[in-house]
A and B are shown apart, each in its own frame.
Chain A
Amino acid sequence: MVRVLLKFSKEIVDQPITSQIILEKGIPINILSAHISQRGGEIIADIPSDQANKAIEAFREKGVTVDVSKLIEVDEKCFDCGACVSLCPVTAITFDKDFSVVFDENKCLGVTCSLCVDACPVRAIRLIG
């Protein structure tokens, strides 16, 4: 699976782009979270790896900004306290056996969630996108 962040500008947010691509290309796109208003929208979705390029191309053709880079960045300030762990709704943040805090970028919902960001006592978590 490839996780993507789809950004819809206010000009195209009212168009059924995602469903069109699912129907036209026959790609099973799994929407994990979505924030949509009149000012624009953001969707986090999983696309099967073998069809990812095709889907991304289709989204870009319709004017959607597709971000496939990682969604979360944790810097060296992190000292493994765990204040973020219980807040994560998708278990992307967990404790390792030695109580190191581990971030799974593939599970992270990024900017559409961001529950952990302000809970970090040393501001070590940054969301991208």
Chain B
Amino acid sequence: MLPEGIKLKEKRTDKGNRRSIAEINEKIKSGDAQILTAEEMKKLVESSGIEVAFKEVDIVTTGTFGAMCSSGAIINVGHADPPIKIQKAWINDVEVCHPGAAVDLYIGATIMSETRSFEYGGGHVIEDLIRGKEVELRATAYGTDCYPRTRLETTITKEDLNQFYLLNFRNCYQRYVCATNSRDEIIYTYMGKLLPRFRNATFSGAGELNPLMNDPDYETIGVGTRIFLGGAQGYVIGEGTQHEPGNRFGTIMVRGDCKKMSPEFIRGATYAKYGTTLYVGIGIPIPILNEDIAKKVAIRDEEIVTDIVDYGVPRRGRPKLGKVNYKELKSGTVTINDRSVKVSSLSSLKTARKIAETLKSWIENTTFYLTAPSEKLPTDTLFKPMKQTKEVSFVEGIVHAAVTCTEDEEIRTVAERIISRSVNHIVVVDNRGKLRGIVTSWDITRAVGQGNGKLADIIVRKVVTTTPDEPLEAASRKLAQHNISALPVINRDRKVLGIVTAEDISKLIGR
């Protein structure tokens, strides 16, 4: 019995234990090719086994639709008269870089508008151009003997461009981490909005539908592989930056003709208080050349495991809080520190599915043929951290013991302690040394002045804190953001380890 919704063609002529891409293309031409989406194929393998699945199926289509920041488009705007060698340029107030000769520009997806900031960026410019909208181009130059012009203002649409190609240097991550936040405040990240104290979690990626996950050893996807890109046909042009095959964090570099793309599969987007980006739709056909490849495309969400990572710690090595698989991620809840936490995707699983189905229909309608890669993607590259020549300071480098008190002490006793220890901040702790609040010399002065009797009434209980492994830059950002002058240093159990003050930080900078 075949799974519901899957129909196989009747006459099959396959013999032997392998087939070539040329043979598959012949079958596409004659209408004999059997194509399933990755989700259909997995069901078929479960119901009928690998052997049948390999014999019956020629191609499996995959799909993903997520925010891919390392995206952009190269455009050539043609020559003006008199001509200009563009030095700086803006489209709809988004600075576009000028990496080449006179009139080639690269629209980076993450560059934000100089007038609309987070609300509009390079990703939106690309989407607007694909939609056929008119955009404003502004450019300046220093002027040369052959390119005398120094200023330019005009409007353009995609029809006015000589070339308009999406040229993305890192797309389609094989899998990604699940993000959550340990801090006491909401944080805005490239993994979306994360609520305080692990109240939610986010993830990205299509799991078992992801193109690279279905060809994890890059046996069929390589340089020159024809793909679905943004609603048009595009190509893989190599491995993407940060390609890390050993850890199943593979990526690809892609290129495609924007003039043929559809805004349904290419969308400019904003991650609040983080920046702008571009949602990119990618679908890759996997030719089922042998049984081994059939076995690999059978991978299920529950077999794709990733880390739950604390984005509340702004360090390269963010703490890992546990493991989770994509089946759990798609279920809507994950377990973090023994608590059930809501989780949701940032990439659209519905659109990913639609991409796999659209690609399937293109092949069935003989408008899309497969290509054999002319070069394989590397399987041994590492993703190295940055070489740094200057030391970075962390809170642990300047933390010193905090002067503390308990809630039941008299205001007068605390005032005397402020004078005898000559400090401005007293950290309030409980009898186990855990943080209960903070009082400043100002709070005490006011209380004494007003004849206010109880310490408990003047304690500030909502305390902004730091941890020993926080970079000093992040700590001083907190001081400025909250307009305060000291941060108690605490550990994961909220035990007070010490204090850092604005004075400590400015001393360090003045050194």
Report the contact-size class of chain A (Cβ under 8 Å from the partner).
20 to 34
Give the residue of A87, A100, A123 whose beta carbon is less than 8 angstroms from that of B193: A87
Of chain A, the residue at the smallest CB distance from B67 is A121
Q: How far is the CA of A83 from the CA of B192 in the complex (A)?
A: 7
- A83 contact set on B, CB distance < 8 A: 192-193, 202, 344-346
- A118 contact set on B, CB distance < 8 A: 193, 272-273
Whether, in the assembled complex, B220 has its beta carbon less than 8 Å from a beta carbon of chain A, the answer is: no
- Which of A27-35, A38-46, A74-82 has 4 or more CB atoms under 8 Å from chain B? A74-82
CB-based contact A86/B200 at 8 Å:
yes
One digit per residue, 1 when the CB lies within 8 angstroms of any chain B CB and 0 when it does not, for chain A 104-129 equals: 00000000000100110111000000
Give chain A interface residues in 56-115, CB to chain B under 8 Å: 79-88, 94-95, 98-100, 115
A-B interface pairs (CB < 8 A), number: 76
- B347 contact set on A, CB distance < 8 A: 81
Q: How far is the CB of B351 from chain A (nearest CB, A)?
A: 6
Give chain B interface residues in 223-274, CB to chain A under 8 Å: 264, 267-273
Of chain A, the residue at the smallest CB distance from B273 is A118
Q: How far is the CB of B297 from chain A (nearest CB, A)?
A: 20
Q: How far is the CA of A82 from the CA of B345 in the complex (A)?
A: 5
CB-based contact B345/A81 at 8 Å:
yes
CB-based contact B279/A99 at 8 Å:
no
Whether, in the assembled complex, B348 has its beta carbon less than 8 Å from a beta carbon of chain A, the answer is: yes
Q: How far is the CA of A123 from the CA of B353 in the complex (A)?
A: 23
CB-based contact B267/A86 at 8 Å:
no
- A86 contact set on B, CB distance < 8 A: 200-202, 332, 342-344
Report the contact-size class of chain B (Cβ under 8 Å from the partner).
20 to 34
Q: How far is the CB of B464 from chain A (nearest CB, A)?
A: 21
CB-based contact B193/A79 at 8 Å:
no
- A119 contact set on B, CB distance < 8 A: 192-193, 272
Whether, in the assembled complex, B497 has its beta carbon less than 8 Å from a beta carbon of chain A, the answer is: no
- A100 contact set on B, CB distance < 8 A: 350
With A87-B200, A121-B270, A121-B271 as contacts: A80 and B192 at CB distance below 8 Å: no
One digit per residue, 1 when the CB lies within 8 angstroms of any chain A CB and 0 when it does not, for chain B 185-209 equals: 0000000110100001110000000
CB-based contact A79/B267 at 8 Å:
yes
CB-based contact B350/A99 at 8 Å:
yes
- B343 contact set on A, CB distance < 8 A: 86
Q: How far is the CB of B110 from chain A (nearest CB, A)?
A: 13
- A81 contact set on B, CB distance < 8 A: 279, 345-348
Whether, in the assembled complex, B349 has its beta carbon less than 8 Å from a beta carbon of chain A, the answer is: yes
CB-based contact B269/A99 at 8 Å:
no
One digit per residue, 1 when the CB lies within 8 angstroms of any chain A CB and 0 when it does not, for chain B 318-333 equals: 0000000000000010
Q: Could you list some 14 contacts between A and B, CB below 8 A?
A: A79-B350, A81-B279, A81-B346, A82-B346, A84-B344, A85-B345, A86-B200, A87-B195, A98-B350, A115-B193, A115-B195, A121-B267, A121-B269, A122-B269
New A-B contacts (14) at CB < 8 Å, excluding given A99-B349, A99-B353: A79-B350, A80-B349, A80-B351, A82-B344, A83-B344, A84-B344, A85-B344, A98-B353, A115-B193, A118-B273, A119-B272, A121-B269, A121-B277, A122-B268
> What is the interface of chain B, defined by CB distance below 8 A to chain A?
65, 67, 119, 192-193, 195, 200-202, 264, 267-273, 277, 279, 332, 342-351, 353
